[in-house]
A = this chain, B = another copy of it.
């Protein structure tokens, strides 16, 4: 059938259909601008040759890729999975493709990934959190690539963002812990350096204590990467403290899951002997034993809204506005009043 053994190009299709390359291109990109009969002929040629447009060539010629890039700190656990899935689904609906890469919580790596994604022709970028060098935004501006921050909402931030108040949410959870009667509270936080969300979560706890008229700065606090094993280690260290905390608030559900696992290993019963809380309400929160009391983040809603906003920015329909998503505490079994002193 086909004359050559290698991949067909627009030119081959044009020849096969007896039209110009412009017409073929139009058939594929704005079919209404081509008369029915011609279109038939062209589409048939496309079909019979098994033609697929060369993406790089399209991007180069059109300076438009219908691709959105997202750089998340990690793919290792499920923290970002659900939100990103929703983000992607919404993008797809609008005809965009998502390219994801992870920075391993390293600002330099993130910078690198941003350049890579832009070089690959991303029309817009989704970034996590506000904390990063400002010259990156200059770079994006020069390349005319709009960017949107997610997973974090700060009223005073200049850049547009679709997220939630990490401090507010954690503050509310801390209030519950206080209301349950806990006074010896310890924190297992994610690494706060370069992570505004982790910072905000810790400060949310502090805020709750201050609001309650308690000293906030002497809470035992361990910072550690968001990994199950690290959460377990940190919990073990906290349990060795004297006096031992009656409640351990974790920076997210992954750390909390680690804490719970360690509690079990140590024979410390949760919540009878010590309470544990998480953050995010990812799947694992409902599976561990006891099920975690945590902050529910509507990840899907956030992902969807971020997609809509970013697309609007890319298409020049919006200069970039910020959206605040509401979170709420979900009460399960890992938080209970402390054993009487």
Contact = CB atoms under 8 A, between A and B. Distances in A.
Contacts of A120: 55-56
A6 interface: yes
A55 B85 contact: no
Contacts of A57: 56, 60
A16 to B, nearest CB: 16
A116 interface: yes
Contacts of A261: 286-287
A68 to B, nearest CB: 13
Contacts of A53: 119
Q: Tell which of A53, A77, A120, A143 has the most Cβ of chain B within 10 Å.
A: A120
Contacts of A144: 6-7
A116 B100 contact: no
Given A55-B121, A284-B287, 11 more contacts: A5-B142, A6-B143, A50-B139, A50-B142, A56-B57, A56-B60, A77-B283, A100-B100, A257-B287, A261-B287, A289-B289
Nearest to A82: B76
Interface residues of A, number: 43
Interface in A181-214: none
A38 to B, nearest CB: 24
A20 interface: no
Nearest to A122: B55
Contact of A52 (B56, B85, B100, B115): B115
A59 interface: yes
Interface string A126-144: 0000000000000100111
A25 to B, nearest CB: 15
A58 B102 CA distance: 23
A97 interface: yes
A289 B76 CA distance: 22
A139 B283 CA distance: 39
A39 B119 CA distance: 22
Q: Tell which of A6, A52, A261, A286 has the most Cβ of chain B within 10 Å.
A: A52
A54 interface: yes
Nearest to A260: B287
